Amino acid sequence: MSPQLRALLTTFEEALASRLTQLKPKDKESICSLSWMLMAMKLLSETHSDIKTLITDLELPVCDWDDKWIDVYLGNSVKLLDVCIAFSSETSRLSQGQLLLQCLLHNLEQNKPEDLSKIHPSLNSWCQHIGSKNPRVENCNGIVDQLVQSLNLPKIKNSAKGKVLMRAMYGVRVHTVFVCSVFINAFMGSTEKMLDLHVEGTYLWAEAYANLQSFVNENIRILTPANILIKEIGAVDESSNALVSLIQETENPVESEAMKDSISELKRRTENLSEGLDHLANAVDEFFQIVLTGRDALLCNLRAYNVSESGGDHKKELMMR
């Protein structure tokens, strides 16, 4: 490997190590908060942008790519697009549940005693909506399993540039499956499918990844009360339960200052949840576009080259995907 190629690879791996280090939460309370999930999605987008830059810097013509490389790249990109669609549907579903709370809070702020009887049913409806499972997200477990299976790199013959590309691609895949796995568990409120990958120490980012995975997985596995992992949802659930208890225990709740404070706290947490879901939804959409444009660029480059008769049929088949 030439010094130039080694420098390109080192730059890529050091950047990945930095992102994985940055992604390790400062404390266990930050794990699976929407702000942490937002950062995770943005850092993942940066890694995928980096691999596109690396491919350009390598000046490795797509026509020189091994068919297996193309097959894995295109196959994984389709799977990632499906995962993004599932995540988008889940953030949208959770946002719809917020409408129930916003309507309830609007009525409560009018200080009408008759509205108190609607609190319990409305909050129960919200809990049922939030607690229901999204089949699209659940199906992502199988997709992640397939992505993990693709981590085994195709063998490289005598191409130094190919070895750099495959080594960098491995880092991208590991980063991707980790983030997707955590998101699935957070959305599902489950720890059954936590991902435990072993990465060889030859990669410059291996230690950062091991520390991140260990810290996140260990703490998620002990944070499963009420099957709620996303912090902002748990906070709203806590405030709603406190409000119900206050109404049941207070003789004249409408005139109670504690009642007003409880409504105010529920409103604040509801707004935080809504805002966090909006930001996360935008980040997922941005990641979707990065994956899509990378896939389209590869297909366009494939079409631009004259494909030899011997390899033409298979590559034409890949371009049709």
- pLDDT tens digits, residue range 172-199? 999 999 999 999 999 988 887 888 999 9
CA dist., res. 53 & res. 264, Å (int): 48
Q: Is the pLDDT of residue 231 over 80?
A: yes
Q: How confident is the model at residue 309 (pLDDT cuts 50, 70, 90)?
A: very low
Q: Give yes or no for a contact between 184 and 79, defined as CB atoms under 8 angstroms apart.
A: no
CA dist., res. 266 & res. 111, Å (int): 15
C-alpha torsion sign, points 145, 217, 152, 286: positive
Place of tokens 């809070």: 105
Question: 309-319 and 257-304 helices cross at what angle (nearest 10)?
Answer: 160
Q: Give yes or no for a contact between 19 and 43, defined as CB atoms under 8 angstroms apart.
A: yes
Question: 160-188 and 206-220 helices cross at what angle (nearest 10)?
Answer: 10
- So what's the pLDDT on residue 253? 66
Report the range of poorest mean pLDDT among 36-40, 73-77, 224-228.
224-228
CA distances from residue 262 to 8, 124, 244, 252, 272 in whole angstroms, order as listed: 55, 17, 10, 14, 15
Average pLDDT over residues 280-305: 86
Residue 59 sits at the vertex; the CA angle it makes with 54 and 62, to the nearest 5 degrees, is: 95
Q: Looking at the chain, list the stretches that DSSP marks H as alpha helix, in order from N- to C-terminal side.
A: 3-23, 34-58, 67-108, 119-131, 135-149, 160-188, 206-220, 231-249, 257-304, 309-319
Q: Is the pLDDT of residue 232 over 70?
A: yes
Q: Is the pLDDT of residue 300 over 80?
A: no
Q: Is the pLDDT of residue 319 over 80?
A: no
Q: Give yes or no for a contact between 235 and 35, defined as CB atoms under 8 angstroms apart.
A: no
Q: How confident is the model at residue 61 (pLDDT cuts 50, 70, 90)?
A: confident
Nearest partner of 289 among 44, 45, 52, 75, judged by Cα: 45
Nearest partner of 7 among 142, 141, 113, 160, judged by Cα: 160
Q: Is the pLDDT of residue 55 over 90?
A: no
- So what's the pLDDT on residue 180? 96
Q: Is the pLDDT of residue 118 over 50?
A: yes
Query: Ramachandran region of residue 32, left (φ > 0), alpha (ψ -120 to 50) or beta?
Result: left
CA dist., res. 136 & res. 55, Å (int): 32
Q: Is the pLDDT of residue 20 over 90?
A: yes
CB-neighbour burial class of residue 80 (10 A; exposed 0-12, middle 13-18, buried 19+): buried
Number of Cβ within a 10 Å radius of residue 222: 9
The top-scoring range by mean pLDDT among 2-6, 264-268, 279-283, 298-302 is 279-283
Q: Is the pLDDT of residue 54 over 70?
A: yes
Q: Give yes or no for a contact between 230 and 186, defined as CB atoms under 8 angstroms apart.
A: yes
Q: Is the pLDDT of residue 314 over 60?
A: no
CA dist., res. 177 & res. 70, Å (int): 19
pTM, full prediction: 0.88
CA dihedral 123, 28, 170, 304 (to 10 degrees): 50
